[in-house]
Amino acid sequence: MRGKYANIIVDISHEKVDRPFQYRIPPHLQGKLEEGMAVTIPFGKGNKELAGYVMEVTDQAEYAEDKLKDILDIRVGDMPVEADFIRLAAWMKRNYGSTMITALKTVLPVRQKKKTQEKRTVTLKLPVEEAKEQLAFYEKKHQTARARLLKELIGQQELSYELITGKLHVTTKTIQALAEAGICQIRTESFYRDPVRLEKQETLRKRLSAVQQDIVEKISADLQAKKPGVHLIHGITGSGKTEVYLALIERVLKNGKQAIVLIPEIALTYQTLIRFFNRFPGRVSVMNSRLSAGEKYDQFERAKSGEIDVMIGPRSALFTPFPKLGLIIIDEEHENSYKSESMPKYHARETAVQIASCHAAGVVLGSATPSLESYYRAKNGEYFLYEMKERLTGGCLPTVYTVDLRQELKEGNRSIFSRKLQELLTERLNRGEQSILFLNRRGYAGFISCRSCGYVMKCPHCDVSLSEHRNGTLVCHYCGYEQPKVSVCPQCGSKYILGFRAGTEQIEEQVKKMYPKARVLRMDADTTRSKDGYEQILSAFANREADVLIGTQMIVKGHDFPDVTLVGILAADLSLSVGDYRASERTFELLTQAAGRAGRGNKPGEVVIQTYQPEHYSVQYAAKQDYEGFYEEEILYREMMQYPPAAHMLAIQIAALAEEGGRGLAERLAEAIRKSQDGSVRVIGPAPAAIGKINDIYRFVIYIKHREYDRLVEIKDFTEELLNGIENRKETVYFDFDPVNAY
C-alpha cells in the first residue's frame, strides 16, 4: 500500500530540528494524509505532543521500522498547506534565511477560535424636526463637521462608523459629542467577519486616456503569455495608475482568474478602497493588520472557495491562496514596509515575482518614485517600463523655493523658519488657507553637520554619515570606523558643527509663539499612539479644524488635502545623514512626496525646502521633481560603492546578552567568512549596530557585498553550518538580504 511513512516538519522554531522527521502512518490514517496537512505527533524523549506539517508521504523508510513513532492524528481545523506554499516557504527559507517552520508560518494563515466581530453604526436619536433645528444651529455656529454628520443622519436612517470617519471626515470625538448630547446613538452589533461592508455607490466609469489604454493593452497582452513578466509603471501621483490597475483587474477576472493588490497600510484609506469596491462589488476583500488571526483566516477561506476575486492589503495579503491567481499589483512599490522586519526578512516585491512565476501570473509595480532596485531592473530590460507624466485632474505642479539655511544663519536668522517660509506662512494665515510643515525626522540618529557650511562628517570607507555616540566618538555603522568628535568644522573652521536637534514639539511651540491665532495640529508618533489617532488628526485637518499641520513622514502619505497651498520642509537634509547608503534615495522620495502635497486642489501650491545642503543632488532633483535625473546620479554612487542594486548585500546581525560574547562571535564569523571566500566577496565589519544595545541586548552586524545574490545565499548557508557546530551558543543570529535600513 502506498504511503506508509510521512516526513514531517515539527512546529518548533529551532535550527537543530529544522529538518523533516520521519513518522509511521498508523492504519486509521492510511490514505488520508496529504502533503501540507497539519498533524499531531509525539516528539522527543518525553513524547510531547506537538503540531507538525507533512512535507512528503513516502514508502521509503529512512530508519528501522521499530525506531519510528506513529503520527497521532490529523489536526482538524488547520488549513492544509498547498504544495505551492510549501515550495514557497522553502524558497523563502533559502533566499532570506530562517527555519522552515518560521517560513511556513509566514505564508500560512493561522486558524484560531472564532471571535464574534462587532459592527458599529450611528443612528439619529432626535425626531427629524428637532434634528433640523439643531442642524440650523450648527450651521449658524460654523460647526461644519457636526453639521455634516447631522445632515447625513437626517437623510439616512443608519450610517456605518467607517463611512462617517472615512468619507465624511468626521472624527470619533465629534460622533461621541453628538451621542453625549443625545442627538445620535452609537450601536454595536455582531456580524460575520466580513471587513468589507461599504455601500456601493454609483460612479461613472472613466474613459481611459490614450496613455492608460496603451499600458492596459500592453500589459494585458503580456498576461496571456505562458510566462508573464514584471511591469513597472512610473507615474506621478494623480497620473491615473489606480485606474490602470482597475482596468487590468477587470480583464483578469474576465478570464476567470484572481488578483492581489498590495497597498501600504497607511495608504489603505477609504478613498482608495471605495474605488475597488465600486468596481467589483462583492468580489473584494481587505486585509489589514487590525484583523485578528481568525479574521485573516476567514479572508483566506473566502479567497480559496472562490467567494472573492480581489484581495487588497499590505505585505501579508501576498499569501492569499487564490486557486487561479492571474495578477499581483504592488502600489507604491518603493515603500519600505514591503520588507518584512522579522524572520524571514522577505521583500514583497521579490516574493511576489516568485509567487507569480508558480501561477503564470503577472506582476505590476507602480510608483511616483520607484525604488532604485526596480528602476534599475527596468532599465536593464528585466522589467517592462511605462511612464505616466501628466496629472489627469489638471492642477499644475507647485512652485518650489529652495532656501539655504547657512545663508539665513549668516544673515542673523536663527529661527527654525527661514524668512521665505515665514512670509508665505503669514500670507496663508491671512488668506485662511492651509499649510503643512514637514519635519524630516528620519535623520534623528545623531549625525554631525556644520551649520555654517553644511559639511557632514562621513566615514572615509563607506561614504555614509558618521553617528555620534554617547561616549563622544563618531562611529560608522557599516564598518565600525571610529574617530573622536570634532569641535571645529574640518571644511570651514566654524565652531557651529553639531548634531541637529529639533522635534515636532519644538516646531509646534515656535509656530504658536509666532502666530498665536493659528490653529495647529501635530502628527507624530506621540499624537498617533491611540488606535484612531492618525485618522482623527487627518479628518480634523481635512475638516479645516486647523490652519497648520505639523508632522513627520506620516503626513506625506496617503491623504489628499485640496485646501493646502503651502508645504514647508523644515530641514530637508536631515534624512540625508542617517548613516545608511539609501539616505539620498529616501530624501528624494520624501521631498518629492511632501512637495506633491501642495496645490492638489484648484489653487496653485508653493513649497519651501529649507536645507543646509542646497547643492545636494537629491535636494535639487526633488525641487525640480526630476526622478530620472536623480536616478542617473544615484546609480553612479551605488555602482561605485557596490551598494544594491549594483550589487547585493547581506547583513548578519548578532544579538547577545553579553557584550563580549556577541563581539567575539561576530568577529569569529567575519573571520571565517573572509577565509572561506575569494577576493570578490567584501566582508565589512563587524561593527556595533546603530542602536548598539536595545533592552539590554547587544547587537553587532557584519555586512557582506557581492554581485551575485546566490553567492550571498551560499555564505548564509555556510554561516548557519558554523553556528550549528557551536555548542551552547547563547547569541542569536539574524540574516537580512539587501537590507532597507542600516542596523
Contact residues: ligand ADP, CB under 6 A? 206-209, 212, 235, 237-243, 392-393
Which CB, 240 or 688, lies closer to ligand ADP? 240
32 binds Zn ion (CB under 5 A): no
Question: Are residues 484 and 474 in contact, defined by beta-carbon separation less than 8 angstroms?
Answer: yes
**Assign residue 738 a region: left if phi > 0, alpha if psi is -120 to 50, beta otherwise?**
left
Quick one: 37 exposed, middle or buried, by C-beta within 10 A (0-12, 13-18, 19+)?
Answer: buried
Residues 183, 273, 363, 450: which binds Zn ion (CB under 5 A)?
450
- Minimum CB distance to ligand ADP, residue 622 (Å): 18
> Cα(404)–Cα(612) distance, rounded to whole angstroms?
6
Which CB, 393 or 506, lies closer to ligand ADP? 393
- Minimum CB distance to ligand ADP, residue 267 (Å): 10
Beta-carbon contacts of 657 under 8 Å, excluding residues fewer than 6 positions away, are 696, 697, 698, 730
User: Can you tell me which residue has the cell 518560521?
Assistant: 102
Q: Quick one: what does residue 243 bind among Zn ion, ligand ADP, none, with the CB cut-off 5 to 8 Å set by partner type?
A: ligand ADP
Which stretch in 42-50, 273-281, 327-335, 456-464 sits in contact with Zn ion by CB under 5 A? 456-464
Three-state DSSP state, 686: strand
- Minimum CB distance to Zn ion, residue 690 (Å): 12
461 binds Zn ion (CB under 5 A): yes
Question: Are residues 738 and 347 in contact, defined by beta-carbon separation less than 8 angstroms?
Answer: yes
Question: Are residues 138 and 148 in contact, defined by beta-carbon separation less than 8 angstroms?
Answer: no
Pinpoint the alpha helices (H) of 438-582: 504-514, 533-542
- Minimum CB distance to Zn ion, residue 475 (Å): 9
Which CB, 95 or 593, lies closer to ligand ADP? 593
Which stretch in 295-303, 442-450, 582-590, 597-605 sits in contact with Zn ion by CB under 5 A? 442-450
Q: Quick one: what does residue 386 bind among ligand ADP, Zn ion, none, with the CB cut-off 5 to 8 Å set by partner type?
A: none
Beta-carbon contacts of 439 under 8 Å, excluding residues fewer than 6 positions away, are 502, 503, 504, 507, 550, 551, 552, 570, 571, 574
Question: Are residues 111 and 29 in contact, defined by beta-carbon separation less than 8 angstroms?
Answer: no
Which stretch in 162-170, 191-199, 351-359, 462-470 sits in contact with Zn ion by CB under 5 A? 462-470
Question: Are residues 424 and 608 in contact, defined by beta-carbon separation less than 8 angstroms?
Answer: yes
459 binds Zn ion (CB under 5 A): yes
> Cα(582)–Cα(572) distance, rounded to whole angstroms?
15
C-alpha separations of 597 from 605, 677, 720 in Å: 8, 49, 47
Contact string 491-510 vs Zn ion (x = CB under 5 A): xx-x----------------
Q: Quick one: what does residue 212 bind among Zn ion, ligand ADP, none, with the CB cut-off 5 to 8 Å set by partner type?
A: ligand ADP
* β-pairing verdict for 73-74 and 38-43: antiparallel
- Minimum CB distance to ligand ADP, residue 560 (Å): 9
Which CB, 178 or 261, lies closer to ligand ADP? 261
- Minimum CB distance to ligand ADP, residue 335 (Å): 14
Cross-strand pairs, 566 = 435, 606
Q: How many helices (H) and strands (E) does the chain have?
A: 21, 31
476 binds Zn ion (CB under 5 A): yes
- Minimum CB distance to ligand ADP, residue 259 (Å): 16
- Minimum CB distance to ligand ADP, residue 274 (Å): 11
- Minimum CB distance to Zn ion, residue 373 (Å): 22
Residues 85, 478, 643, 698: which binds Zn ion (CB under 5 A)?
478
Which CB, 387 or 463, lies closer to Zn ion? 463
489 binds Zn ion (CB under 5 A): yes
Which CB, 208 or 572, lies closer to ligand ADP? 208
Which stretch in 116-124, 418-426, 483-491, 501-509 sits in contact with Zn ion by CB under 5 A? 483-491
Cross-strand pairs, 211 = none
Q: Quick one: what does residue 489 bind among ligand ADP, Zn ion, none, with the CB cut-off 5 to 8 Å set by partner type?
A: Zn ion
709 binds Zn ion (CB under 5 A): no
Question: Are residues 269 and 318 in contact, defined by beta-carbon separation less than 8 angstroms?
Answer: no
- Minimum CB distance to ligand ADP, residue 210 (Å): 9
Question: Are residues 541 and 521 in contact, defined by beta-carbon separation less than 8 angstroms?
Answer: yes
444 binds Zn ion (CB under 5 A): no
- Minimum CB distance to Zn ion, residue 193 (Å): 50
- Minimum CB distance to ligand ADP, residue 269 (Å): 12
> Cα(343)–Cα(409) distance, rounded to whole angstroms?
47
> Cα(108)–Cα(576) distance, rounded to whole angstroms?
38
Q: Quick one: what does residue 536 bind among Zn ion, ligand ADP, none, with the CB cut-off 5 to 8 Å set by partner type?
A: none
Residues 249, 308, 439, 462: which binds Zn ion (CB under 5 A)?
462
Q: Quick one: what does residue 177 bind among ligand ADP, Zn ion, none, with the CB cut-off 5 to 8 Å set by partner type?
A: none
Q: Quick one: what does residue 346 bind among Zn ion, ligand ADP, none, with the CB cut-off 5 to 8 Å set by partner type?
A: none
For the chain, state the CA radius of gyration: 28
Question: What sign does the dihedral 292-559-277-186 (CA atoms) show?
Answer: positive
Residue 2 phi, psi (nearest 5): -75, 140
> Cα(298)–Cα(287) distance, rounded to whole angstroms?
10
- Of 522, 619, 529, whose CA–CA distance to 573 is shortest? 619
- Minimum CB distance to ligand ADP, residue 603 (Å): 17
Q: Quick one: what does residue 156 bind among Zn ion, ligand ADP, none, with the CB cut-off 5 to 8 Å set by partner type?
A: none
Residues 479, 502, 520, 672: which binds Zn ion (CB under 5 A)?
479
> Cα(163)–Cα(507) distance, rounded to whole angstroms?
33
> Cα(491)–Cα(136) distance, rounded to whole angstroms?
66
- Of 610, 638, 549, 588, whose CA–CA distance to 367 is shortest? 588
> Cα(310)–Cα(278) distance, rounded to whole angstroms?
12
481 binds Zn ion (CB under 5 A): yes
Which CB, 608 or 742, lies closer to Zn ion? 742
Which stretch in 92-100, 220-228, 335-343, 447-455 sits in contact with Zn ion by CB under 5 A? 447-455
Task: Catalog residues that contact Zn ion under the rule CB under 5 A.
Answer: 450, 452-453, 455, 459, 461-462, 476, 478-479, 481, 489, 491-492, 494
